[in-house]
Each structure stands twice: as C-alpha cells, then as structure tokens.
Amino acid sequence: MALHSTAGVLTQTEVTMQVGAGSRITAIDALRGVALALMALTHAAFFIGVGMQAESYGGQRVYLQSPPYWISGLLTTLASPIFFCLAGVSLALLEQSRVRKSASPWAVSRFILARAGVIMALDLTICAWLWLGKMPYIHVLTAMGLGMIILSGLRLLPTRAILAVAIATLLVHQGMIEVLRPQLEAGAPQSLAQALFLTYSYETHPPVGFPVLGWGPVMWLGFVLGRNLSQPMLRQPRTWIVIGGGLLLIWAALRLIGGYGDLGAYRAGEPIQYVLVMSKAPPSLSYLAFKLGIAALIFAALVAFPTLIDAGLLRILTLIGQTSLFFYVMHIVIYHALAQCFFLFDPPELPGIVYGYAVWALGMMALVPLCERYRALRKRYPESVLRYL
C-alpha cells in the first residue's frame, strides 16, 4: 500500500503509517503479527512437551536449558506484552472509526462489551478445552476480555485520566505483589479472586494464567497510545528508538535495585543470563519494561521500512496481525491437532528444540492461507458477526 500525504509521497524517515479515515496502520498490524508468530512458537513447543522457559512464575526458581532454548524463550515472551498493548491500540482506533460514523459513546462501549464477550466465550470453551483439557480456564483472552470490560467504562474519561488510572493500577498492583511476596514464594494456597486480579494460579478452580490488574493496565496504556497516534512525533522511527531506549533504562534500574514487585529478581551469584529472567506471572514492571522496550525498537524498524511489511518478505506478519483473533484461536486448534499426530509416531532422537520449531513451521504453513481466506471473507461481509472477531 503506497502512503501519500498532501505534500506528496512520504519519505522513509517520515510517517510510514496513516491514521486517516479508512486506513490501516500497517506497522501496528505487523508488530501484532510478530507477537502472534512468537506466541505460536512457544505454544507449538508446549503442545509437544518442549519447554522454552526464560521467565519466572510465582517466584519459583527457573532452570535455564541450553542457549537455543532460553534464547528462544526470551523471544517468545515478547508476545504477551505486545498482544495486550496493541489490543488497547486497536480499541482506540476502533473508537475513532465508530465516532467518525457518528456512533454514540454508549454504542462504542456496547461494541467493546460485545467483543469482550465473544473473545471470553472463545477462551472459556474452544481454547480452554484444547489447551488443558479442562473447562473453563482463565487464560489470555479472558483476561483481555475483562480488561476490555473495564476499559468500556474508562474510555468515557479524558485521555489523561485513563493514563493516570493505568499507571496507578500498575504501581499499586506491584505494591500488592510485594505485600504478598512471602505467601507466593512459600507456595501458599490462593483464593480465586486473588489469582484472578493480582497473581496467577494453576491450583484454583478454574486455573488462572493472567491476572487482570497485572495485564489490564498494559491494554489501557495501549488505548492511550492509540488515541495519540495522530501526533507527528509518534509517526517517526527515532521517537520509538527513544521510547525503547528509555524503557530499557527503566528495566536496568529496576534490575539493579532488585525489582519492584518482581518475584524473579536477580540474585547475586547467579549466571549472568539470569539478569534477563523476570517474573511473567504475575507480570513485573521490569518484565514489562524490558519486553515493551524491545517491542518499541522493533516497531521503529517496521515504521522505517514499510515496503517489507506491505509487499516484502514480512507481509505475512501484516496478514497475521490483521486477523489476530482468528489466528489466536486457530493456532491453538492446529497445534493441538499437530501434537496429537506427533505422539502417534516414534520420532528419531533429536533435540526437542528441533521438533518445537518444526511443528511451529508446519502449523504456520496451515495458518497463513487460512488467515488469507478469513481476511477476504471479513472484507466481503464487513458488517456481519465477523466484525467482532
């Protein structure tokens, strides 16, 4: 897609994304595609029993395997922060689109509530059954849906107020984790409410993977960002390089002081690579700053080289990002099926990481054409129920 301004064709150092009526922000689609492709990799490996862990859960000690495993894990853990943040950005762009069509504030909030209901229903049925064989299971989409329900009310506030609420919630959440640290590190039983809003637990009924007050603010910050994407400074790669560098400096400072709310704080005497291992569940500020800092740098590159994501080698990422919910649900269906096939055979003795990447590649070969067909179908019927997907 060629991008033009009133002054002519945009240069590579200028805006490489548009926020005008009827246009898509291709770089954001591509960044979402990066997150989903990485998410697919870790889930493909999970389904066949290959671990790529490079993050901490509940403060439990992490054992890093050989570099191919934990470096892959560092990459795949970029997925969740990007996914939640860009969900907020997309909701802000949807809000702008609906307002341009003269939708009332309640109509916009109602649409967000309906979409939240749809994604939660998918998560608590299809995704839960194929993921753990249990129903329900509170995972990514349910946490996202609950965050959207809160956002449907928050969006009625001024943008600065939403920003203040998001930052305050992040800080208060981290403070609560510090209060709960002794209980969590001792592995004490948790209530469902505590796991759902503050921590995480696979021992509650239903199990909870993503706490709402840990991840919801990431979406709300993305919503604030989405409302401000028309600002010229946010259209330039160098801005995102500065933002990414700033977030990485915050991460470094948090690691030096032991982390605020980070149950995966680095301990003296550990191998140096453990500096990069932080708490994902519950999410720590250091984890979020590190992952979103890297995401900002990736976004800068995507903004700077638009031809790669419009018609070049990376256009698949744009496709995936434009069909994100469909891709998310279908990747669980497909990798579950591939895992069942995998266990029917007696494969030769090879490192698990090899099979993890092989299954991921096979799944992507199926997912990409499915996403192409779904995108075409959604364009053909823009006002159908597919608009909620």
| pLDDT digits 0-9 by tens, 189-231 | 899 999 999 999 989 988 999 999 999 999 999 999 999 998 9
Q: Is the pLDDT of residue 58 over 90?
A: no
Contacts of 369 (CB under 8 A, 6+ apart): none
Mean residue pLDDT across the chain: 89
- What local confidence, expressed as pLDDT, does residue 91 receive? 96
- What local confidence, expressed as pLDDT, does residue 137 receive? 84
Residue 216 domain boundaries = 4-388
Contacts of 22 (CB under 8 A, 6+ apart): none
The one-letter amino acid code at 74 reads: L
Q: What percent of the chain is predicted at pLDDT more than 70?
A: 93
Query: In this predicted model, what pLDDT tens digit does every residue of 124-177 receive, in sequence order?
Result: 999 988 987 767 888 999 999 999 999 999 999 999 999 999 999 999 999 999
Tally of domains in the chain: 1
Q: Is the pLDDT of residue 4 over 70?
A: no
206 prior amide bond cis, ω within 30:
yes
Write the Ramachandran bin of 21: left for phi over 0, alpha for psi from -120 to 50, otherwise beta: beta
- What local confidence, expressed as pLDDT, does residue 8 receive? 33
Query: In this predicted model, what pLDDT tens digit does every residue of 296-321 receive, in sequence order?
Result: 999 999 999 988 898 877 899 999 99
Q: How far apart are CA 76 and CA 321, in angstroms?
A: 16
